[in-house]
Amino acid sequence: MELFQDTCQSIVERNKEIEHIVAERWDEASSASGYGRLVSVVAQYAAATEQVEVSIPKPCMVIASADHGVARMGVSAYPMETTVGMTQNYLIPKGAGANALANYCGADMEILDMGIAADMSWVPGLRSHKLGMATKNFLEEPAMTREQAIEGIEVGIALVQEKVAQGYNVFLVGEMGIANTTSSALMTAKFAGLTAEEATGRGSNISDERLKVKQRIIHDTLVKYEHIDKNDGLGILASVGGFEFACIVGVILGAAATKSLVIIDGFNTSACALVAKNLVPASLEYVMASHLSAEKAAKASLENLGLSAYVDLGLCLGEASGGSVQMGMLDLAVHMYIALRGGQQ
């Protein structure tokens, strides 16, 4: 609890003066208007990391894995055991799309078990921070306690502190957990005031029949927790969120407190950013959007955050996929900025 409170209290707005300096220097080197949003990408990165002399980013991809109790109700096209298979794939054969994308954008990977419903001690390199063997089925009872939510947030904060000490300054956040879009749909609906129909997407490309089941469950769960105020971010996370989401909230808060940048991915990580925004509005100063997820309420989620996507590729993969594309864009933009200024950093 102390780490959580201290972190929240230490977050301040990013340095807007640096933002202006970078934009002016770009314009002096070559008309900034022709480079569009690439200028703002570099300016936000520089301001968030407090670099008047902009350096090449050092990114760390953080993927948090956990299972959801509601998965047993048939809201996904895949069984809960898929979380085990995908998580070990990041670290043993290293053949997941996330691995390829991490290699593409030059990010080192950290994979966390926040609550997979299986023994994962056999997976080398997996950070184990289990808050439970999957969350509770939130249609029956809250997904987790507030204490578990805070513990998960503190795991994310501590990881950021560790990696910042090693020189990392950009964090790409991703998630793995069957049924997690059911959680994120609920979280987004609560924060943005959406109906179940407006918030419910196909997630893992579920059938029409499963979509009706998922929508009904989201509707009934919204009714069950209608007493929770939209301004109670911690309460929303604990009631309908996931253990992996708690960790990602912590990464966002930890990055803001340590003057680092976070690139969110799609719908799930946007829901985490909504929690962080509720807890500490200034934390969003350190969050950069990436792509527009194919999920139904993705646009509403970004609008509620006050962010806009940089690309629209129709992705619905999660696992920091869109964030990796944006990281590549950030790296390119920084290299362009330095080159335009004659190699001056």
- C-alpha 222/C-alpha 196 separation (Å) is 8
- Look up residue 68 and give its amino acid: H
DSSP state of 126: P
Q: Are 158 and 49 in contact (CB under 8 A)?
A: no
Rg of the Cα atoms in the chain: 19
* SS3 call for 71: helix
Q: Which of 175, 244, 285, 319 is an active site residue?
A: 319
Going by their DSSP bridges, the two strands 108-115 and 59-66 should be labelled as parallel
Give CA separation, 149 vs 39, 43, 251, 312, in Å: 37, 33, 13, 32
Residue 64 tokens read as: 């948090």
Residue 162: active-site member: no
* Bridge partners, residue 63, by sequence: 111, 174
Nearest to 200 by CA among 191, 211, 208: 211
Give CA separation, 171 vs 190, 261, 274, in Å: 26, 6, 17
What strands, in cross-sheet order, belong to the sheet with 261-263? 127-128, 108-115, 59-66, 170-176, 261-263, 287-288
Give CA separation, 312 vs 16, 308, 330, in Å: 28, 11, 16
> Which residues are tagged catalytic?
319
